């Protein structure tokens, strides 16, 4: 095992890798319940999406671990599943089968741009300052997700916000603003206990502090009434779920999926723009995750990136990781789920020391076990995993120290790349903002020649994407 995964060579141990796999699993296990809840609103069977989510996650994560030997897990992406449901199906009127066909095509595009090294060229084109900003920005994004999952924020209207019309009339225009919740909800109180407990363990440098924090918080939640153990051992309708899987499996390539997607010539431009939006978000979410977590942790070393740039085939870990991520989307769409992507929650496992594919294999096996042990996996509440995300987010923000904040030429793009990820709840939007303002700064300084051509093209594509989203 040590020889296959090169555990010692990567400065890790088997026990550390197992702990990391467990931590990543608990941090992302919510997706097996959240994804079906979102996609089922399109008319897809809940049980089928439940199984498709697990299958896509297991296959994608195993490829990541066994082929690329990196500690990343894959699952249907949050944000991408919302785009699938609320924009493509409910907004634009496409059927879920047609939407799955779009996701399948998106996966093929990702495979193409990976094999042809377009994805790697994009990574090479990103300036070091922006790479550090992306890493720190992902830290803010993860911590923000943790704070939201902890239930600490309450979004209320702001009665003090007013708008002055041209006539001089002042009218009230209540806007939604975040505020601290009233601390009387058991789940919120459990999250606070978990945060304090986790941080105490981290400060005391207790081995496996984040995982211990998750387990301890879950146990504490039982007498508090937040964790319900009464349904442990009950059935989950597994037989009916497999029966429903027959409805979604292969639907992307069926007559009501791919067969009807381009049937209406008037809608072909809309279909192409939607596929483009899918692909752009998927590609940059993954690139952002790899840069943000891999650069800081050393998973993708300078030598590995150099080998990636100079060699052909799949000789570097980055090469293999990008390919593993690329094929996962198409595989997931065939079973019946939206874009499968590299999960930012992988940072939780990396944060406790995961450095090899064994971490991913452990995570995949635990995801597979959820087919039979869904009630047990479901015992871990958001209040227990939220502290882990906050802690990892804090750790990742250390990459901000590499940015020259006293130099506005570097600080402005870095600020937008880092902060917009959390504000827009999207890694790709944060990268887009960073790219756009980087180009603006360089153009203003008369340094257009210093901008990598791929960065210019990527920026124009982002702008085009925003225009498309405004139109559709």
At 106, the pLDDT band (50, 70, 90 cuts) reads very high
**Best mean pLDDT range from 85-89, 396-400, 409-413:** 409-413
Q: What's the domain count of the chain?
A: 1
Q: For residue 70, is it within any domain?
A: yes
Residues in the chain: 472
* pLDDT of 266: 81
**Strand partners of residue 238:** none
Which of 138-152, 189-203, 329-343 is predicted with the least confidence, judged by mean pLDDT? 138-152
CA quadruple 451, 455, 427, 123: dihedral sign? negative
Distance between CA atoms of 86 and 38, rounded to whole angstroms?
A: 9
* pLDDT of 19: 94
- The fraction of the chain above a pLDDT of 90, given in percent, is 40
* pLDDT of 441: 95
* pLDDT of 446: 93
Q: For residue 445, is it within any domain?
A: yes
Is 355's pLDDT higher than 70?
yes
Average pLDDT over residues 377-389: 81
Is 283's pLDDT higher than 90?
no
* pLDDT of 89: 93
Average pLDDT over residues 235-259: 86
Is 376's pLDDT higher than 60?
yes
Q: Are 189 and 224 in contact (CB under 8 A)?
A: yes
* pLDDT of 314: 59
At 249, the pLDDT band (50, 70, 90 cuts) reads very high
* pLDDT of 70: 92
Distance between CA atoms of 125 and 138, rounded to whole angstroms?
A: 19
3-class DSSP state of 341:
strand
Average pLDDT over residues 412-429: 84
Distance between CA atoms of 441 and 454, rounded to whole angstroms?
A: 17
Pick the more confident residue, 91 or 440. Answer: 440
Longest Cα separation, the chain: 76
CA 263 to centroid of chain Cα atoms: 33
Is 285's pLDDT higher than 80?
no
At 287, the pLDDT band (50, 70, 90 cuts) reads confident
* pLDDT of 356: 94
Pick the more confident residue, 464 or 187. Answer: 187
Average pLDDT over residues 434-463: 91
Tokens representing residue 69 in the block: 């030997």
* C-alpha distance from residue 256 to each of 57, 95, 101, 265, 272 (Å): 25, 8, 9, 16, 17
Distance between CA atoms of 443 and 370, rounded to whole angstroms?
A: 52
What angle, 0 to 180 degrees and rounded to 10, lies between the N-to-C axes of helices 118-125 and 302-310? 130
CA quadruple 246, 248, 252, 254: dihedral sign? positive
Q: For residue 382, is it within any domain?
A: yes
Is 218's pLDDT higher than 70?
yes
* pLDDT of 435: 92
Q: For residue 166, is it within any domain?
A: no
- Mean pLDDT over the full length of the chain: 84
* pLDDT of 224: 94
Is 103's pLDDT higher than 50?
yes
pTM of the model: 0.74
Within a 13 Å sphere around the CA of 173, how many CA atoms are in the beta-carbon half?
Answer: 8
Which residue shows structure tokens 């996962």?
328
* pLDDT of 82: 83
Is 115's pLDDT higher than 70?
yes
Average pLDDT over residues 336-351: 89
Q: Where are the alpha helices (DSSP H) in 64-168?
A: 80-82, 96-115, 118-125, 128-149
Residue (of 284, 267, 290) closest to 101 by Cα position: 267
Is 428's pLDDT higher than 80?
no
* pLDDT of 337: 96
Average pLDDT over residues 25-53: 89
Q: For residue 172, is it within any domain?
A: no
Q: For residue 179, is it within any domain?
A: no
Q: Are 69 and 315 in contact (CB under 8 A)?
A: no
Is 297's pLDDT higher than 80?
no
* pLDDT of 317: 77
Q: For residue 454, is it within any domain?
A: yes
Is 414's pLDDT higher than 90?
yes
Full domain range(s) for residue 300: 2-155+184-471
**Best mean pLDDT range from 94-98, 113-117, 137-141, 288-292:** 94-98
Is 431's pLDDT higher than 80?
yes
φ and ψ at residue 251, rounded to 5 degrees? -60, -30
* pLDDT of 235: 43
* pLDDT of 57: 96
At 405, the pLDDT band (50, 70, 90 cuts) reads very high
Residues 6+ apart with CB under 8 A from 157: 174, 175, 176, 177
Q: For residue 169, is it within any domain?
A: no
Is 237's pLDDT higher than 70?
no
Is 315's pLDDT higher than 70?
no
Pick the more confident residue, 472 or 333. Answer: 333
């Amino acid at each position: 095992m040590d020889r296959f995964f090169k555990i010692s060579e990567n400065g890790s141990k088997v026990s550390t890798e197992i702990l990391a796999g467990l931590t990543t699993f608990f941090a992302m296990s919510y997706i097996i319940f959240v994804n079906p809840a979102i996609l089922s609103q399109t008319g897809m069977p809940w049980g089928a999406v439940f199984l498709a989510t697990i299958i896509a996650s297991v296959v994608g994560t195993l490829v990541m671990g066994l082929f690329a030997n990196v500690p990343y897990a894959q699952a249907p992406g949050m944000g991408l599943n919302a785009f699938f449901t609320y924009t493509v199906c409910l907004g634009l009127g496409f059927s879920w089968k047609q939407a799955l066909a779009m996701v399948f095509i998106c996966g093929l595009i990702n495979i193409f741009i990976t094999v042809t090294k377009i994805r790697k060229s994009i990574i090479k084109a990103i300036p070091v300052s922006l790479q550090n900003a992306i890493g720190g920005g992902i830290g803010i994004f993860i911590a923000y997700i943790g704070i939201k999952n902890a239930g600490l924020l309450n979004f209320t209207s702001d009665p003090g916000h007013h708008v002055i019309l041209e006539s001089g009339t002042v009218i009230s225009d209540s806007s939604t603003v975040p505020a601290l919740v009233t601390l009387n909800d058991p789940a919120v109180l459990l999250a606070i206990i978990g945060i304090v407990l986790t941080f105490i363990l981290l400060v005391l440098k207790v081995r496996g502090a984040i995982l211990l924090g998750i387990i301890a918080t879950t146990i504490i939640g039982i007498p508090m009434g937040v964790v319900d153990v009464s349904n442990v051992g009950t059935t989950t309708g597994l037989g009916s779920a497999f029966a429903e899987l027959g409805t979604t499996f292969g639907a992307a390539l069926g007559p009501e999926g791919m067969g009807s997607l381009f049937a209406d010539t008037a809608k072909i431009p809309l279909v192409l723009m939607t596929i483009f939006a899918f692909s752009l978000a998927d590609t940059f979410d993954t690139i952002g995750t790899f840069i943000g977590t891999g650069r800081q942790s050393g998973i993708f070393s300078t030598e590995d990136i150099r080998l990636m740039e100079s060699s052909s085939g799949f000789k570097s870990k980055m090469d293999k990781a990008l390919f593993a991520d690329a094929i996962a989307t198409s595989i997931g769409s065939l079973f019946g789920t939206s874009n499968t992507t590299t999960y930012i929650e992988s940072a939780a496992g990396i944060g406790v020391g995961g450095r090899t594919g064994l971490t991913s294999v452990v995570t995949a096996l635990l995801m597979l076990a959820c087919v039979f042990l869904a009630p047990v996996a479901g015992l871990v509440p958001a209040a227990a995993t939220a502290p882990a995300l906050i802690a990892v987010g804090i750790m990742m923000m250390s990459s901000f120290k590499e940015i020259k904040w006293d130099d506005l030429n570097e600080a402005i793009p870095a600020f937008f790349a880092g902060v917009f990820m959390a504000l827009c709840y999207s890694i790709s939007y944060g990268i887009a903002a960073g790219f756009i303002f980087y180009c603006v700064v360089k153009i203003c300084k008369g340094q257009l020649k210093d901008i990598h051509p791929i960065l210019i093209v990527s920026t124009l594509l982002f702008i085009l994407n925003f225009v498309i989203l405004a139109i559709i």
